[in-house]
Structure 1
Amino acid sequence: MTQLRTVQVLGGGSAGSSAHVRSLTAGLVARGVRVTVCAPDPLERLYDFRGCGADHVAVARRGDPLSLGALRAACATADVVHAHGLHAAVRAAVALGGQRVPLVVTWHTRVHADGPRGHLLRLLERRAVRAAAVVLGTSSELVDRARRRGARDARLAPVAVPGPRRAPAPDENGKARAELGAVERPLLMAVGSLVPDRGYDTLLDAARAWRGLDPMPLLVIAGEGRERAALQARIDNEDLPVNLVGRRDDVSQLLAAADIALLPSRWEARSLLAQEALRLGVPLVATSVGAVPELVGEAAELIPYGDAVALAGTVTRLLADPGRRAELASAGPVRAATWPTEDHTIAQVLSVYDELTQSPLR
């Protein structure tokens, strides 16, 4: 039997899509599939696709002729090309022009934009989904959106990503809290890129209310992005109990040490932070947006997006109610056990590949 050859295409690569490609690649290689990952060099350094048995072709996120040429050459001998995210999908569609290689697109998240940029994004969405033989949406909302944009075949694919290898020991939690400066005060934790749609302005609005608590909680935000300078200016000017710690390789350890995890985003599909918090048994307060409600069920406290009063009040109530925090801590791993496993995700993707490569249209 001929070995199946796939190319996985990543663009900028959000943490969720990159972690999924790493997991998917390892699973496909273990099942005898030859995998080439086309991604920018920084993603290879972070996720080590070669380390799980894949070939890596450095392809910048840009759509210049050199990058498109490298992508086209890598895809020329593939049986299936699988693009992850909107920009990767558009570039893969352009690179595949004229080649009879089926394109699968996994739509991990969506971008909010108004005006001319919003119009351009809608055009890109239509271009991406109409070029795909199959679109896999990580939430029901994304599947419906793909169908509205003209997808021929859109299916729900709630991807799984690896959980923590192990829960940190209590002494590790203590060390993490000491490093962050939260030994004798509550620790609140948020993780994600410092961009507007993450809701960090609302989070800082809520942090003003927490200054009146005794002991005063410390909010730690792990991540980098273009909003860092503006957020830091607010923290300094308003004397907020908030610490921006940048991008960290030990997010699991920091999160496990937290009293409450916070997800204030405008929109999320299968949030990595939500998944990790529930698996670790860390109480989660999240916005009721996108796929978050169907992901967490009753195992988290949900609030409206952009409501700083609701966010501040919910956190204050939880800090004063150890019983409720214990309920959420117990409910998280139970809910996480209902999610698809990595094996389920890989099996679903393989079934799509088999379907496309055995099609008489090939």
Structure 2
Amino acid sequence: MPERIYNFSPGPATLPYSVLQEAAVDIVNFKDSGMGLIELSHRSKLFMDVADETEALLRELLNIPSNYKLLFLQGGASSQFFMVPMNLLQHDQKATYLNTGVWAKKAIQEAQLFGKVEVAYSSEDITYRRVPKDDEYTVSSDSQYLHFVSNNTIYGTQYPDMPDKTVMLVADMSSDILSRPFDVSKFGIVYAGAQKNMGPAGVTIVIIREDLLDKVGDRVPTMLKYKTHAEKDSMFNTPPCFALYCVGRVLNWLKNFGGVAAIEKINREKAAVLYEAIDSMEMYRGHAEKESRSLMNVTFNLPTPELEARFIREAAAVGLDGLKGHRSVGGCRASIYNAFPREGVEKLVSFMADFAQQNQ
């Protein structure tokens, strides 16, 4: 096997190596059962134990209150863009959205199919370089909820603090869940695709307050009702078994690491090292405004597209892969999620200095 490289991919993203090693064994012979993990019945005791452990770990790490249901669904966060308003919003009701990036805009477009949508803030006109402060927008008193995307993977912005409004919060936390503590009790729904910070692609985590399960209308299809999955403990149909198992292993790794507060400290240190390099060298220019910078996705540009292409190509040649920016914005992007090691950030910073010196 070749030496492992540093994978800066924004998702699917790098996972703890110990998790990959565990999965490599369990996918062939799970707990000496004579069956591979992906062969198990999802209703067998072996797999039900996996699901129960995964839920318990997530509840512990995020301190999820007992009046919240935890669902393991499919379809990615993109399916939640329509499931949220489909379950919570009637055609004559209003919801408020904050437009801070591509995924927020897609969520707005889906919500408009089901009710009235008020976009209280948008940074689209400045290429999504920042997220709003609380005093930069208002939420109508008749709004059913405030929806926002906590971390914007493409543009490298992140809310330094969660919005502080009296209205119920709904958040897409796909790219920064478990990277820092937050108060679940302030939210009606939190959802996140696993493939950035929790595990492989295939499973989407939904944390929903129990009283919201009964808001759904009669004409919503069975599979698209949160209540359907809550009543069956995410076993209404066959769940994404392997992805769910991997999430459990990542959660176990995080717990052993010291939990969410411990990983937040490391995340801040990693991001600080990289942003310091960007700010101190003339060759590089950060995309996001400083007060909105993401700890998970660091976006930056070089003076020309040609230099950016050379930078990405030469970085990959020395084991720094996945640095190409999203096709919609270009530039470079280093995704440094929980499992990404600090030494990879330090190697990138060293490469950046060498590249700048050689291309003056």
- Given the two structures, how large is their TM-score scaled by the length of structure 1? 0.31
Q: Which has the higher contact order (CA 8 A, sep 6+)?
A: 2
- Given the two structures, how large is their TM-score scaled by the length of structure 2? 0.31
More helix as a share of residues? 1
